[in-house]
Each structure stands twice: as structure tokens, then as C-alpha cells.
Amino acid sequence: MTSQSPATNPAAGSAKSMDAIMALCKRRGFVYQASEIYGGINGFWDYGPLGSQLKKNLRDAWWQDMVLRPCWGKTGPGGREVRCVPVETCIIQHPKVWAASGHVGGFNDPMMDCKESKRRYRADHLRYVKTTDPSEGRMFAFVEGDADTFEEALKRLGKYVKRTLGEGDLEIITDAKPDGQFLARVVGPHAKEAGTLTEPRAFNLMFKTYVGATATDDDVAYLRPETAQGVFVQFKNVVDTTRVKVPFGIGNVGKSFRNEVTPRNFTFRSREFEQMELEFFCHPDESMEWFTFWREFRMAWWESLGLAGENLRLYDTPKKDLAHYSQAGSDVEYRFPFTYPGFGELEGVAHRGNFDLTQHQQHSGAKMEYNDTERGELLPNGQRRGERYLPHCIEPAAGLDRGVLAVLCEAYTKDESRPSPEFMKIHPRLAPIKAAVFPLVAKDGMPEIAHKLHDELLRRFWREGLVESDDKQTIGKRYARMDEAGCPYCFTIDSDTLKDQTVTVRDRDTGGQQRIAISHAAAFLSDKLGL
């Protein structure tokens, strides 16, 4: 008999196949392994023509809805307008930034090495199983994975137990804390003998480099592990050089680097990835209201991009798991195929108090206080003295690559009855190809009309994404290709077009077709894309 924790017990329904999704991503040019011709490099991924456009569209959507017109123009607590400005800060900062933020001292994952197999594991990703036979009490560790991997691992362990110990049931220990005595009895995931796993050791996730030619210890610098700190160190400059007033946000988008111990699950945990972070500064008394506001808006934002339904949820961090400076935290989580039926973090919304500004004030000696002239003591002359304080910060921190992965997983749809048994239901706002134009056959003047329409749509929609045209292969194959690319609308020029200047529009999701005037094609697409 085996027991399973709720997190790994497959619920009704089943997860999509990650292998199938990855194969489609490669086949259609969404995601490639980095340095593939050299055998790849673990934890690094490149985006192909469709993937890079999809990623740009998601980044643009964030920028539009968080910086240019924050929260779709919705007002915040107390009917206040939500105001945000952008910055773009360096990947390499002064090393003291990371000492102040706590990353150099404490940005660690617990890591274990196996002396026998020479493999390395994250201690919090190992699960332990023991036989229920009390006289033996031998334990086996394996790497936590999706439900299938878990089942597979249990089967292998079951066989192993039978072979080495005779009959015995398995019991899973979820809260085991690996200490020396415990580990002496554990057989590692890829080992034959017990006691080959080292105790967990802290492993710093920061990528180290050297600035300048001498490469001595004094020249050590780090690639940033998050974009947020760039905002905190420029907070004063933004306040002093622009007209922003608390409450306001500063957005920062760009690459971050973490030397993850166990990069895995496609792009979910990479060593180089992109973040979209907003630091929203507000008065301490209003901070919980702003936290609630952002928590809800960020969930609504991901829903608006097609991640709605039971695959998306908001998870509130229990008080005991919050950082010492934090009053609240929630994660927007997506049910990825490899976390199914559990969820994986897409974005964290954190109430960071004034921790970061305090730290940078202490470490740099620069004054970070904000002078709030809308608050504070009213003077006899009718003016205010102004209240000085370190604003509190609410941080919605989203992963761009994880966002793209969630969009790809959600979009992947199987339907054997269609010309393409697999197709990608990507939200029209994010779809890399917005439309395609086909002549039904490459004769009778159809290609010329198609090329004219393609040209018109390209001129109108190039800011939104790609517009394709294709004269080759059967129309079914061309539709199938566009379905796999996630193109929401295909316009086809046929013999009727020659007579009545209408075209067929095919809807990717339903496969349904309708005829519209060719002169109406751009307006039709504009309407469907919500422009």
C-alpha cells in the first residue's frame, strides 16, 4: 500500500502532457534549448521567432497595464488615481546593494550532494519514503516531481524494498528534516547504498563576476537576482527629478539571474529569466489597503489574458511563513502540467513594509525619507510642515518567462477531429501572429488579392504582432500550421472574392467560418483584437 500527500494525489481530470507541449514549442519555434548544437546548457532557454514575439506581447501588456495606464484606469483605495513610472536599471550594481538587500548574506537554497552518484539536490525538493516495518526503518529519498514521476519513483522504490528487505509497505514522510542521524539510513534517489547524502548546505544563488581587468577579490560583482533592488536604489532620484507623489509605483522589467541548484520544468525554473516588477510606495497607514488592491488587480490581470478558471488561484502566504518585515503576501499561482494537481508560483505580491528603503539608507548613508506635503502639521500660515517618513512598499513581482510558460500550457489544446489535432488557444492580445492571409489556390488572380490584403493588414497591425501570408500547400495544412502557431484569424481569398469582394474569416478556436467584405477585414480584426 502506498499513501500520498494531497499535493501529489492526482485529482479527477488529468494534466496536459508537458512532453507534447515542449515538442510543439520546438516544432513551431516558440522555445529552443540554449546552445542546443553543443548539447544545451542546463537552465538556459532561447525563444524562437514565435516565442520571442509572444514574450514581447506579454511584456508589452504588463507595461501598458502597469505603467502607461495602470490598472486599466481603475482607481485605488479612497478613489485615488494609480500612478506609475518606469525605470530601467543595470544588471550589475554596486556589490553593497546586494549586501544591503540581504542577497549576499542570505540568498541561499539548502543543497545536498550524493557522494555515490555525484548528483546534487535541493533539500526541500527531496521526498522521503520508509518501510512501515519498524525493525528496519530504512528510508529512501527521491526527487519530487509531477504525479507521473512520483508514481514511477514509488514503483521503483517498491521493487527495491521488496528486493532488499522482503515485503514491506511504503510510507511517505513529508516533513522529514534531514539531519545526520536520519540521513545515515537514507538511500539517495540515484544511489544503491544508504548514507551517501551530505547534510544540506547553504548554496548562494548569486552569479559572481569581476568588473575590470584585474579580477581580484575587490573586483567581485554579481548579476542581479531580481530587478526590484534597482528601483529601491533609484527611489530618491525618481522622487527628486519627477513630479511623482506618494502613493505611486516604479516599474522595472528585465533579466535576472539565479544559479538555481536544480533548474527544471522547462522554463519554469531557469538560471537566466526575465522579471516584471512594480514597487508601489505608499503611506504606512494605507499600505494594507494598497496590498489588497494590488493582490486583486494582479489576479484579474492574469485572468484577462486567458488564464482564468480552475488553473489559476490566489494563495495567501500563512503569517508564519512571511519574512520578518512583511505584513502580508499572496501568490498568483498557476496549475502547470508538472505541478498538477498542485500549483506553481507565477507572481508574488508582497507587502515589504519599509524594509528595503531602510536597509539602503543604513548601508549607503543616503537619506531615503519622503517629505509628504499633503500630510503633516498645518502651520498658522496655512501651509503644511510636511510629514517625513519612509514609505511602505507593495511589490507585485511577476516572472515573464513563467508567464509565457503558463500561457503556452493553457493554450495547448488537443482535438483529434481537427486538421491539426493540437492547437494553441493563445489569447488574441498575446498571439504572436495576429492574422494570416491565404489565397485558396495560387491562380486566377487570388494571390494578388491576398498579397494586397496582407499588405494592408501588415501596415495596420505591425505594432501588435506578425501578419503572415502563405500561398503554399493545401488550405487545410495552412490552417493547421496557423492553429499550432496560435493565430486567431485566417482570411482566405477564393473564387467568390473575385465576384463579390468578400473573404472567408476562419476562427481558430471554433474552426467556424464566415464571409465578410474584404474592405471590412482590417476593422474586423481590430475589433476582435480589442484595439
Please tell me whether residue 361 binds ligand ATP under the rule CB under 6 A: no
Please tell me whether residue 275 binds ligand ATP under the rule CB under 6 A: yes
Select from 27-35, 122-130, 195-203, 269-277 the region that touches ligand ATP (CB under 6 A): 269-277
**Measured between alpha carbons, how far is 212 from 416 in angstroms, rounded to an integer?**
58
Q: How far is the CB of 351 from ligand ATP (least distance, A)?
A: 13
Axis crossing angle, helix 446-461 with helix 521-528, rounded to the nearest 10:
40
Position among 28, 224, 258, 454 found at the interface with ligand ATP (CB under 6 A): 258
Q: How far is the CB of 346 from ligand ATP (least distance, A)?
A: 6
Q: How far is the CB of 400 from ligand ATP (least distance, A)?
A: 8
**Subset of residues 74 to 103 that bind ligand ATP, contact rule: CB under 6 A:** none
Please tell me whether residue 347 binds ligand ATP under the rule CB under 6 A: yes
Q: How far is the CB of 405 from ligand ATP (least distance, A)?
A: 8
Q: Which is nearer to ligand ATP, 279 or 347 (CB)?
A: 347
Q: Which residue is nearest to ligand ATP (CB)?
A: 399
Q: How far is the CB of 489 from ligand ATP (least distance, A)?
A: 31
* C-beta separation of 278 from 291 below 8 A: no
Q: Which is nearer to ligand ATP, 336 or 438 (CB)?
A: 336
Q: Which is nearer to ligand ATP, 295 or 402 (CB)?
A: 402
**Measured between alpha carbons, how far is 15 from 337 in angstroms, rounded to an integer?**
5
3-state secondary structure 477-494: HHHHHHHHHCCCEEEEEC
Q: How far is the CB of 21 from ligand ATP (least distance, A)?
A: 17
* C-beta separation of 195 from 185 below 8 A: yes
Q: How far is the CB of 43 from ligand ATP (least distance, A)?
A: 8
CA 355 to the chain's CA centroid: 25
Burial grade of 320 (CB within 10 A; 0-12, 13-18, 19 or more): exposed
Q: Count residues contacting ligand ATP (CB under 6 A)?
A: 16
For the chain, the C-alpha Rg in angstroms (whole number) is 27
CA 255 to the chain's CA centroid: 12
Burial grade of 187 (CB within 10 A; 0-12, 13-18, 19 or more): buried
Q: Which is nearer to ligand ATP, 254 or 465 (CB)?
A: 254
Please tell me whether residue 305 binds ligand ATP under the rule CB under 6 A: no
Please tell me whether residue 254 binds ligand ATP under the rule CB under 6 A: no
Position among 399, 428, 432, 488 found at the interface with ligand ATP (CB under 6 A): 399
Q: Which is nearer to ligand ATP, 349 or 450 (CB)?
A: 349
Position among 260, 387, 470, 471 found at the interface with ligand ATP (CB under 6 A): 260
Please tell me whether residue 270 binds ligand ATP under the rule CB under 6 A: yes
Give the three cell numbers for residue 173.
514522510
Count Cβ atoms below 10 Å from residue 133 Cβ, excluding itself. Answer: 15
Please tell me whether residue 57 binds ligand ATP under the rule CB under 6 A: no
* C-beta separation of 530 from 477 below 8 A: no
* C-beta separation of 342 from 272 below 8 A: no
Burial grade of 368 (CB within 10 A; 0-12, 13-18, 19 or more): buried
Q: How far is the CB of 92 from ligand ATP (least distance, A)?
A: 19
Burial 58-71 (b: 16+ CB within 10 A, else e): bbbbbeebbbeebb
Q: How far is the CB of 270 from ligand ATP (least distance, A)?
A: 4
Please tell me whether residue 348 binds ligand ATP under the rule CB under 6 A: yes
Position among 141, 299, 346, 466 found at the interface with ligand ATP (CB under 6 A): 346
Q: How far is the CB of 277 from ligand ATP (least distance, A)?
A: 7
Q: How far is the CB of 504 from ligand ATP (least distance, A)?
A: 40
Q: Which is nearer to ligand ATP, 347 or 494 (CB)?
A: 347
Select from 211-219, 230-238, 343-351, 386-394 the region that touches ligand ATP (CB under 6 A): 343-351
| Closest among 181, 222, 228 to 205, alpha carbons compared | 222
Position among 295, 402, 429, 508 found at the interface with ligand ATP (CB under 6 A): 402
Select from 142-150, 283-291, 346-354, 377-385 the region that touches ligand ATP (CB under 6 A): 346-354
Handedness of CA 163, 168, 169, 175 (dihedral sign): negative
**Subset of residues 170 to 229 that bind ligand ATP, contact rule: CB under 6 A:** 226
Position among 345, 372, 387, 471 found at the interface with ligand ATP (CB under 6 A): 345
Position among 111, 143, 397, 446 found at the interface with ligand ATP (CB under 6 A): 397
**Measured between alpha carbons, how far is 470 from 478 in angstroms, rounded to an integer?**
7
* C-beta separation of 121 from 143 below 8 A: yes
Burial 189-221 (b: 16+ CB within 10 A, else e): bebeebebbbebeebbbbbeeeeeeeeeeeeeb
| Closest among 472, 476, 477, 488 to 525, alpha carbons compared | 488
Binding site for ligand ATP (CB under 6 A): 226, 258, 260, 269-270, 273, 275, 345-348, 397-399, 401-402
